[in-house]
């Protein structure tokens, strides 16, 4: 991205550089709770919903469902209804929600209140991932401040018709609970198993079998700006169906890993990896080997995809997804087998255990790869890997088909299928099929020693 690009407003990241951006005082000094004030004083709930629809705000959790439309699914006249904030950000490589909750927790609270106003909820359940200690602390502090100042609780901002309680809930550390129905189960105190849809679409039968809207942290954090500046202003940013700004996290072998707010749909991967303001190039000026465009469950992309815009449709057409906006960069020192093993190990551990193909298949894949890395691979293992993938996600297509209930099964397939298809030689090399050709310039992101010594 050149410095001559049009001015893009900062919607989400304005307070991140402030040391006290998480405090109520600073938040109010920098225009905080004005969106809520405007919503309460000048807009009906329906007008708020219409504004969000006009903004074409897509859910930022990964699935990208339009937020305004989701609110509209709540059946009229059924109370109580709940807003659940999905702060169980667990996708490997993704840490945007954590930064919002740590650096600007009031923004999330304000957004949640606006959403609660729009859908008519009097209770907001804020589910924060169990491992995010600082985020939990900051959210709790912010909530106390907000209660004391009358932004949360009874008669918010003096408005007698609007009272909302926010209930904090810390997760217990399960990836699957990022799935909204599993999150609801977890909130209710049960094991985090996804519910069957139908009939348990949360909007109709969610938390405690009441209508429930589940929104991602970043999605809600966009709301104060949308309400203040108007949905049209938000929709004026971005391209195609990817409108507004969006947070992307860049990690892996770049010089400047971090969370960056960019205009959605126009910025390219090349900008994110190489732009000075973003990734600032591959470390040691190494060559790019592959990158994951949207969290660990996304199929890998390669050098030829660098000029794709960060736009949902374009990335989908290329056979992957933007997902949760997590870009993980692998340079050419990366051992594809190890990288694939590392990713699939995550999914094998995090499979909830419900569906056979995911529970057994992901672990089997992990163990075959581990065996390869240990030097006991067989050439037949390579096709076996793909065939096991095929049994979890038939034909290994994109978007994926699946033999499982939820998409966690195919998520384990993506990295392996990408790695095996693209770097087949490396896999064969581990199976006695030849030298391992990965040049080693330094440590890969794996903690174990790189692959040279493993050549059998």
Partner 1 sequence: MTDTADTAREAPTGPSGRGSGEHVVTVTIDDRAITAAKGELVIDVAERNGVYIPRFCYHPRMRPVGMCRMCIVDIDTGRGPALQPACMIECSDGMIVSTGSPATRKAQEGVLEFLLVNHPLDCPVCDKGGECPLQDQTMSHGPGESRFVEEKRHFEKPIPVSDLVMLDRERCILCDRCTRFASEVAGDPLISFIDRGNDTQVNTFPGEPFSSYFSGNTVQICPVGALTATPYRFKARPWDLDEVESTCTSCSVGCRVVIQSSRNQVLRYLGVDVDAVNWGCLCDKGRFDFEAVDSSERLGGPLVRDEGLLLKSATWNDALGRAAASIKDGLERSGPDGLAVLGGARLTNEDAYAWVKLVKGVIGSDNIDAQLGDGLPAEAVLGLPAATIDDACRPGGTVLVLGPDPKEELPVLFLRLRHAVLNDGVKIVELASTATGTTPLAAHSLRYHPGHALHLMRALLAPTEAEDEVAGVAPEAIAAAASLLAERPVTVVLGRPNQAEGARSIAAAAKLINDAHPRVRFLSALRRGNVRGALELGMTPGVLPGRVTFRDGRDWFAGHWPTVPETKGLDATGILRAASEGRIDTLVLLGADPLADFPDRDLAERGVAGARTVIACDQFLTESVRQADVVLPAAGYAEVDGTTTNLEGRVSTLARIVTAPGTSQPTWTVAADLAFRLGADLGLESTEQIGREIDAVAPAFAGLLHDLAAPGGEDGVLVSLPARRNGETPDEPVEDPSAEPAAAATDPGDADPETTEPGPTEPGAVPGATESEASPAGPRPGIPVPDWRVIDPPLLDAYSLRLVVTRRLYDRGTLVQHSPSLAGLAEPATLRLNPQDFDRLGIVSGDDVRVTSSRGHVTVSTRPDAAVPRGVAALDANKAGGRANVLIDANTPVTDIRVERP
* Residues binding partner 1 (CB under 8 A): 174, 176, 191, 193, 196, 348-357, 359-364, 367-368, 371, 384, 388, 390-392, 394, 401, 403-405
- At closest approach, how far in Å is the CB of 361 from partner 1? 6
Nearer to partner 1, 26 or 367 (CB): 367
Shortest separation between residue 420's beta carbon and partner 1, angstroms: 16
> What are 130's two structure tokens?
């169990």
Q: Would you say 256 or 371 has its CB closer to partner 1?
A: 371
Q: Residue 168 is encoded by which pair of tokens?
A: 């904090």
Q: What does the angle CA 292 – CA 294 – CA 296 come to, to the nearest 5 degrees?
A: 60
Phi, psi of 94 (to 5 degrees): -105, 125
**What CA–CA distance (Å, rounded) separates 332 from 346?**
22
CB of 404 vs partner 1, minimal distance in Å: 7
Q: What is the dihedral of CA 26, 29, 33, 35, to 10 degrees?
A: -130
Q: How far is the CB of 322 from partner 1 (least distance, A)?
A: 25
Instruction: Report the C-alpha gap between 52 and 69 in whole angstroms.
Output: 9
Nearest distance in Å: CB 112, partner 1: 29
Q: State the nearest-atom distance from the C-beta of 69 to partner 1, in Å.
A: 21
Contact criterion met (CB below 8 Å) for 95 and 103: no
Residue 371 and residue 379 in contact, taking contact as beta carbons nearer than 8 Å? no
Kindly report the number of other CB atoms within 10 A of residue 274's CB atom.
18
Least CB distance from residue 343 to partner 1, whole Å? Answer: 14
User: Which residue, 115 or 355, has its beta carbon nearer to partner 1?
Assistant: 355
Least spacing, CB of residue 176 vs partner 1, in Å: 8
Q: Quote the least distance from Cβ 290 to partner 1, whole Å.
A: 26
Q: Using the minimum distance from each CB to partner 1, give the nearer residue, 194 or 325.
A: 194
- If the CB atoms of residues 108 and 362 are measured against partner 1, the closer one turns out to be 362
Q: Which is nearer to partner 1, 31 or 173 (CB)?
A: 173
Q: Which is nearer to partner 1, 170 or 347 (CB)?
A: 347
Question: Residue 30, Cβ neighbours under 10 Å: how many?
Answer: 15
Please tell me the distance from the alpha carbon of residue 216 to that of residue 85, in angstroms, as a whole number. Answer: 6
- Give the whole-angstrom CA distance, residue 85 versus residue 102: 15
Which of residues 277 and 359 has its CB atom nearest to partner 1 in the complex?
359
* Cβ-based nearer residue to partner 1, 388 or 454: 388
DSSP labels for 210-224?
A: S-EEEEEHHHHHTHH
Burial of 397 (0-12, 13-18, 19+ CB in 10 A): exposed
Nearer to partner 1, 151 or 364 (CB): 364
Give the residue with the Cβ less far from partner 1, 287 or 349: 349
Going 334 to 89 to 58 to 141, the CA torsion angle's sign is negative
CB of 130 to partner 1, least distance (A): 14
Secondary structure (3-state) at 332: coil
Q: Are 359 and 351 in contact (CB under 8 A)?
A: yes
Work out how close the CB of 182 gets to partner 1 at its nearest, in angstroms, rounded to a whole number.
Answer: 12
How far is it, in rounded angstroms, from Cα 454 to Cα 302? 25
Q: What is the DSSP string of 99-149?
A: HHHHH-HHHHHHHHHHHHHHHT-SEEEEEE-TT-HHHHHHHHHHHHHHHHT
Question: Two tokens at 314?
Answer: 């374009």
């Amino acid at each position: 991205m050149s410095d001559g690009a049009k001015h893009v407003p900062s919607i989400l990241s304005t307070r991140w550089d402030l040391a006290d951006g998480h405090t109520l005082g600073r938040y109010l000094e920098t225009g905080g709770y004005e969106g809520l004030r405007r919503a309460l004083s000048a807009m009906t709930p329906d007008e708020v919903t219409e504004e969000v629809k006009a903004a074409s705000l897509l859910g930022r959790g990964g699935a990208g469902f339009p937020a305004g439309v989701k609110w509209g699914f709540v059946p009229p006249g059924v109370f109580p209804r709940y807003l659940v904030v999905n702060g169980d950000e667990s996708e490997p490589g993704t840490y945007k929600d954590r930064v919002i909750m740590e650096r600007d927790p009031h923004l999330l609270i304000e957004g949640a209140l606006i959403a609660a106003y729009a859908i008519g909820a009097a209770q907001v359940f804020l589910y924060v991932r169990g491992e995010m200690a600082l985020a939990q602390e900051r959210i709790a502090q912010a909530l106390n401040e907000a209660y004391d100042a009358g932004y949360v609780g009874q008669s918010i901002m003096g408005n007698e018709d609007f009272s909302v309680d926010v209930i904090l809930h810390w997760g217990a550390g399960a990836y699957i609970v990022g799935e909204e129905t599993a999150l609801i189960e977890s909130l209710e105190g049960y094991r985090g198993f996804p519910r069957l849809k139908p009939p348990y679409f949360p909007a109709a039968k969610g938390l405690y079998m009441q209508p429930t809207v589940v929104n991602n942290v970043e999605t809600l954090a966009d709301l104060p700006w949308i309400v203040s500046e108007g949905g049209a202003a938000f929709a004026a940013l971005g391209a195609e169906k990817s409108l507004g700004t969006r947070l992307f996290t860049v990690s892996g072998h770049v010089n400047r890993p971090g969370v960056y707010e960019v205009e959605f749909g126009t910025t390219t991967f090349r900008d994110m990896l190489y732009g000075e303001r973003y990734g600032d190039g591959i470390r040691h000026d190494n060559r790019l080997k592959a990158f994951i465009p949207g969290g660990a469950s996304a199929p890998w992309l390669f050098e030829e995809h660098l000029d794709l815009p960060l736009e949902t449709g374009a990335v989908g057409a290329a056979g992957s997804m933007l997902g949760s906006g997590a870009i993980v960069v692998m340079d050419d020192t990366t051992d594809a087998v190890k990288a694939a093993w590392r990713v699939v190990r995550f999914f094998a551990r995090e499979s909830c255990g419900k569906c056979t193909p995911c529970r057994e298949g992901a672990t089997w894949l992990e163990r075959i790869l581990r065996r390869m890395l240990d030097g006991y691979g067989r050439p037949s293992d390579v096709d076996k890997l793909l065939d096991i993938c095929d049994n979890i996600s038939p034909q290994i297509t994109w978007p994926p088909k699946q033999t499982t209930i939820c998409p966690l099964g195919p998520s384990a397939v993506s990295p392996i299928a990408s790695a095996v298809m693209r770097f087949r030689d490396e896999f064969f090399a581990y199976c006695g099929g030849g030298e391992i050709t990965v040049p080693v310039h330094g440590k890969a992101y794996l903690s174990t020693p790189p692959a040279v010594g493993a050549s059998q």
